[in-house]
């Protein structure tokens, strides 16, 4: 699904990721944990191709294709999805219009017909209920005036509608109370399948009680310093990141 090989990347002349390698197969859930400033969010932005995030060396292949040859929107159409840590508010653009444009673009890329407005609205309403978001949110501006939890649920709704093959959750748990966390987690769990992979970026072990990962990686200083199974997350929770400092150097 995704192969990252010796990736070096910089943001505004600052070298953040160092020789990072990661291999994710279809159906796997990988958690990436690490202290603030370790490069967790940078990884997500490099994968989606955000402007200003520059790959210095290394390769990334996604579904067998060289990711760096693809624009931001092409990666999305190909099945990559980033759930933002801070979803963007866009007043004046209705959530429904936005979602339809996104789903249309993805379907077109897959060689499928666009859904009619009627069918799409029905689908969007049904999906919004699955993440406990009132359908009235579809009429509002994208994320406009949404609470932190509503924004995150809107991200998961987008993920459900787009049916991506690789989902990257960037600190989706930040700022969520336990109820919202459960809604988000059950949305993610409902989407787990042998065809779909997840990268769950988080600071805290708590989320991983709900979304149980196959692998846990610790990112520090822009490289993966330790990998293990879900038990590693619990160890981190108990010991903090300090005991790994030695391995960074």
CB of 200 to another protein, least distance (A): 18
CB of 90 to another protein, least distance (A): 5
CB of 76 to another protein, least distance (A): 4
Q: In this structure, what token pair is assigned to residue 196?
A: 């779909």
Question: Which of 22, 76 has the CB closer to another protein?
Answer: 76
What is the edge-to-edge ordering of all strands in the sheet holding 2-11? Answer: 14-24, 2-11, 53-62, 65-66
Q: Which residues pair with 199 in a beta bridge?
A: 30, 168
CA distances from 29 to 72, 83, 217 (A): 23, 15, 11
CA distances from 216 to 168, 202, 229 (A): 14, 10, 5
With CB under 8 A as the contact rule, the residue among 55, 93, 115, 248 that binds another protein is 93
Q: Does 120 bind another protein (CB under 8 A)?
A: no
Question: Which of 145, 228 has the CB closer to another protein?
Answer: 145
Which candidate, 219, 168, 218, places its Cα nearest to that of 197?
Answer: 168
Question: Which of 91, 228 has the CB closer to another protein?
Answer: 91
The answer to whether the CB of 213 falls within 8 A of the CB of 189 is no
Question: Which of 101, 243 has the CB closer to another protein?
Answer: 101
With 0-12 / 13-18 / 19 or more C-beta atoms within 10 angstroms meaning exposed / middle / buried, residue 91 is exposed
The answer to whether the CB of 30 falls within 8 A of the CB of 24 is yes
Q: Does 112 bind another protein (CB under 8 A)?
A: no
The answer to whether the CB of 89 falls within 8 A of the CB of 137 is no
**Selected range binding another protein among 92-100, 185-193, 218-226, 238-246, rule: CB under 8 A:** 92-100
- The number of residues that bind another protein (CB under 8 A) is 28
Phi/psi of residue 237, nearest 5 degrees: -60, -40
Q: Does 77 bind another protein (CB under 8 A)?
A: yes
**Selected range binding another protein among 77-85, 123-131, 173-181, 205-213, rule: CB under 8 A:** 77-85
Q: Which residues pair with 220 in a beta bridge?
A: 223
Site for another protein in 15-74 (CB under 8 A): 48, 50-51, 71-73
Question: Which of 71, 246 has the CB closer to another protein?
Answer: 71
Question: Which of 140, 192 has the CB closer to another protein?
Answer: 140
Which candidate, 72, 82, 117, 78, places its Cα nearest to that of 96?
Answer: 117
Give the residues lining the site for another protein (CB under 8 A): 48, 50-51, 71-73, 76-77, 81-82, 84, 87-88, 90-93, 97-98, 101-102, 105-106, 109, 141-142, 158, 162
């Amino acid at each position: 699904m995704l192969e990252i090989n010796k990736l070096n990347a910089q943001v505004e002349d600052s070298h953040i990721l160092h020789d990072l390698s990661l291999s994710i197969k279809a159906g796997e859930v990988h958690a990436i944990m690490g202290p603030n400033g370790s490069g967790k969010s940078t990884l997500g932005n490099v994968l989606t191709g955000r402007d200003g995030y520059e790959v210095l060396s290394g390769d990334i292949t996604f579904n067998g294709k060289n990711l760096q040859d693809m624009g931001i929107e092409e990666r999305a159409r190909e099945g990559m999805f980033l759930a933002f840590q801070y979803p963007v508010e866009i007043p004046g653009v209705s959530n429904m219009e936005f979602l339809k444009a996104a789903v249309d673009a993805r379907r077109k890329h897959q060689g499928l017909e666009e859904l009619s407005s009627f069918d799409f609205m029905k689908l969007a309403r049904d999906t919004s209920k699955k993440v406990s978001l009132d359908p009235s949110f579809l009429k509002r501006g994208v994320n406009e005036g949404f609470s932190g939890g509503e924004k995150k649920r809107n991200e998961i709704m987008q993920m459900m509608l787009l049916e991506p093959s690789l989902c990257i959750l960037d600190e989706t748990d930040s700022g969520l109370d336990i109820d919202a966390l459960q809604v988000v987690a059950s949305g993610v769990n409902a989407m787990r399948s042998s065809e779909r992979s997840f990268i769950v970026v988080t600071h805290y072990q708590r989320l991983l009680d709900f979304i149980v990962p196959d692998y846990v990686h610790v990112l520090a200083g822009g490289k993966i310093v330790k990998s293990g199974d879900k038990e590693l997350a619990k160890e981190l929770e108990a010991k903090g990141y300090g005991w790994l400092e030695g391995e960074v150097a």
